Amino acid sequence: MRPISNPNTDSASYLRGRWYQNPLFKRYWRHYNSTLQWFQQHQQLMRDVTGRSVAAPSETSVTYAEQDDSSFEMPVTEELITFFEQSARHRKSLCSSGAEQEEELQEQQQQSWRRQASSSPGALHHRRLYGAADGAMVHGMELAMQLTFEHFVDSNQAKHWPNIALKL
């Protein structure tokens, strides 16, 4: 018995190696052509913009050369000098207070970390079960095992349930 032929996949152009002319790919080629057209328009626009910007510096250099340097001078008054001095003092005080605050924050973080490490529920539980010396060791071994398992699951993306059908 001869298999049913599909005109979309078994056309003569498909068999001759012109698979890209198959009607199945019409939507793809329409999208490809519109994207290519946009890209070419964008490139032309960029060429136009860069062409204008290359010509612009020569025009602007003439205008800068013609101007006087006196227009750039700014009068310095006593008020301006006191303002700059005051802002420099404020900047120094902010930097020093910021450094002090950072040191205090780091100290607080270290203290909270020490409190958390010593008073975690798992550590207390292990200390009660195994004693002070062995409790920390057993707790560390359990944490290492748990972290190894989590790393394995994350790296392999292991499925927790089999992906085969239950009814065969």
Share of the chain above pLDDT 90, in %: 16
Angle at 115 between CA 110 and CA 117, to 5 degrees: 90
CA Rg value for the chain? 37
pLDDT over threshold 70, residue 75? yes
Contact 142, 158 (CB under 8 A): no
Q: Residue ranges per domain, the chain?
A: 8-49, 103-154
**Please, what is the angle between helix 132-156 and helix 121-130, to 10°?**
130
The secondary structure of 46-105 as a DSSP string is: HHHHHHHHHHHHHHHHHHHHHS-GGGG-----HHHHHHHHHHHHHHHHHHHHHHHHHHHH
Query: What is Dmax (Cα atoms) for the chain?
Result: 105
**CA 114 to CA 61: how far, in whole Å?**
64
**For 111-167, what is each residue's pLDDT tens digit?**
776 665 555 777 788 888 888 888 888 888 888 999 998 888 888 776 666 666 667
The model's pTM: 0.26
| pLDDT mean over 48-69 | 63
Q: Which two tokens stand for residue 13?
A: 């152009």
Element (H, E) at 164: none
Residue found by looking up tokens 């008054």 in the block: 77
**For 97-106, what is each residue's pLDDT tens digit?**
777 888 888 8
